[in-house]
Amino acid sequence: MILTLQIQLLPDTDTAQKLKATVERFNEAANWLASKAYERKLANGIALHKLYYYVLRARFGLSSQMACRCIAQVVEAYKRDKEVQPSFRKHAAMPYDQRLYSFKGIDRVSLLTLEGRVLVPMLMGNYQREQFGYAKGQSDLMLRKDGKWFLLVSVDVPNGPPIPTTDFIGVDLGVTNIAVTDDGETFSGDGVENVRQKMHKLKKSLQQKASDLVKQGKRPKNVRRKLSAISGRESRFRRNTNHIISKRIVEKAKDTGKAIALEDLEGIRKSQKRFRKPQRAKLSGWSFFQLRTFIEYKAKRVGIRIEPVDPKYTSQTCAECGHCEKDNRHTQASFLCKVCGHKDHADRNAARNIRARALCQQA
């Protein structure tokens, strides 16, 4: 199982300038090469290497291996959609293979720059130290918007031995509640929604301020910098919350010896029209795919199976008698079966149905 470790680098001022100059030059070269590849409609790495390898080295001052990585980066991006010319941001992550970097123990890394190699201290937590021994292949050097440097290291972690299971934990992913299990444990979205609304209002205010400054003939540089910082903060909050939820669900499955039944959420964004406008904003503001991915990889690490099930009508079907009717969903939060009178929290009822479907699929 391939995972990515985000390891913070702590370069001094001089080293940070060298890294920044290298990343900028690499992406400048990538944009130039992308324009040539698009003009020629050429997505063959060998052909581009023959045509532009020496040009990249002479024109942009890239080392031999940097030029090779630049060509590979452009080819990979161009192959995704040959109708569009690839574009690389000034500070987009720069790939480093094992010829461009090497670890010096667990606290330093040697990185090649335009001015030669630099030795940079690293900062790792306990979790990262545990996985560090599985580091393998290419990494990415990234400059975050807040000025911090990170090395995104690929690690090939072995899956845990499969745990034999005969039962499932049903998990319902929702809008008001991010996740609810079939035994009623609820991960509320109230705190998440408060942060989303707060950030939305702040973004709106800053965007208006930037627009006013442009009309006055002024450059809204500081405002745009603040907008970038807010965007990164919201993303990190969302990611951290998803990590906490996924860890708790996997721990519960491990402690009870059960597998995990999850909704197959393919096309969830296409179904946004069935939600009211305020709910669509909530739905777009949360990464269900990220949460599902976190649950899946954490489960694989400890040998817990994930069973995807069709989520259709799970919120309208009675978990007791199986009667399905739209009016069973009494309110957004409550379920009341029109046939047997079963009453429950709507999300818990849905989670029970998800578990039941997983058991049927296993039979």
**pLDDT tens across the length of the chain (363 residues):** 788 889 999 999 999 999 999 999 999 999 999 999 999 999 999 999 999 999 999 999 999 999 999 999 999 999 999 999 999 999 999 999 999 999 998 899 999 999 999 999 999 888 888 888 877 888 999 998 888 999 999 888 888 888 888 899 999 988 778 899 999 999 886 666 677 677 778 888 888 888 888 888 887 778 777 777 776 777 788 888 889 999 999 999 999 999 999 988 664 544 444 455 555 555 554 567 888 989 999 999 899 999 999 988 999 999 999 999 999 998 888 999 999 999 999 999 999 999 999 999 986
**Domain assignments of the chain as residue spans, ordered by start:** 2-156, 168-190+239-362
Amino acid of residue 67? A
Cβ atoms of residues 288 and 175 within 8 Å: no
Cβ(261)–Cβ(288) below 8 Å: no
- The topology (CATH level 3) of 168-190+239-362 is Nucleotidyltransferase; domain 5 (3.30.420)
Q: CB count, 10 Å around CB of 259?
A: 22
Per-residue model confidence (pLDDT) at position 20: 97
pLDDT the model gives residue 283: 52
* CA separation for the pair 33, 27 (Å, rounded): 10
Whole-number Cα distances in Å, 132 to 107, 111, 155, 209: 11, 17, 7, 45
**Which sequence positions are flagged as catalytic?**
172, 263, 347
The first and second tokens of residue 103, run together, are: 């670890």
- pTM listed for this prediction: 0.71
| 288: Cβ contacts below 8 Å, ≥ 6 apart | 173, 265, 268
Cα–Cα dist 347/173, whole Å: 8
**Unique residue bearing structure tokens 């390898």:** 53
One-letter identity of residue 144: R
Q: How far is CA 312 from CA 30, 198, 230, 265, 316, in A?
A: 45, 33, 36, 10, 9
Q: Are strands 116-123 and 135-143 parallel, antiparallel or unpaired?
A: unpaired
- The pLDDT assigned to 272 comes to 46
Please report the pLDDT score of residue 74 as a whole number: 97
